[in-house]
């Protein structure tokens, strides 16, 4: 995994994934354009409570159940292919040998 580059994906206002970069594909090879991000990434039926899109600071650290790692995600509203109300979300793994970097959360995988 290339840890120097950030994974990036773009979602529309309905949380439908419109684009993923190569680093994202390395983390989540089974997720495709057209998937609903909260269903595909977090196995949820509704948008995540800690989604960086809905946070004022546009940043969230959470445990990803698919890759079994803590990640920090950042979002920014963008114009995509001439359309408004799209969000670019980038993330990086926070896993380190000595615990969780930059996260005051628990340091073990949630049950």
CA gap 9, 40 in Å, rounded: 12
Residue 101 has pLDDT above 70, yes or no: no
> Model pTM?
0.77
CA distances from 20 to 14, 57, 68, 89, 108 (A): 16, 23, 20, 10, 28
Lowest mean pLDDT among 52-56, 59-63, 77-81, 94-98: 94-98
Is the pLDDT at 111 greater than 70? The verdict is: no
Give the model confidence (pLDDT) of 19-29 as tens digits. 999 999 998 99
Least confident among 12-16, 50-54, 97-101? 97-101
């Amino acid at each position: 995994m290339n840890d120097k580059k950030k994974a990036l994906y773009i979602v529309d206002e309905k949380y439908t994934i419109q684009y993923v970069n190569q680093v994202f594909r390395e983390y989540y090879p089974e997720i495709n354009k057209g998937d609903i991000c909260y269903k595909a990434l977090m196995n949820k039926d509704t948008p995540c409570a800690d989604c960086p899109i809905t946070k004022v600071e546009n940043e969230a650290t959470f445990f990803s159940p698919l890759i079994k790692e803590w990640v920090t995600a950042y979002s920014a509203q963008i114009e995509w292919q001439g359309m408004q109300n799209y969000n670019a979300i980038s993330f990086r793994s926070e896993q380190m040998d000595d615990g969780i970097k930059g996260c005051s959360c628990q340091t073990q995988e949630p049950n």
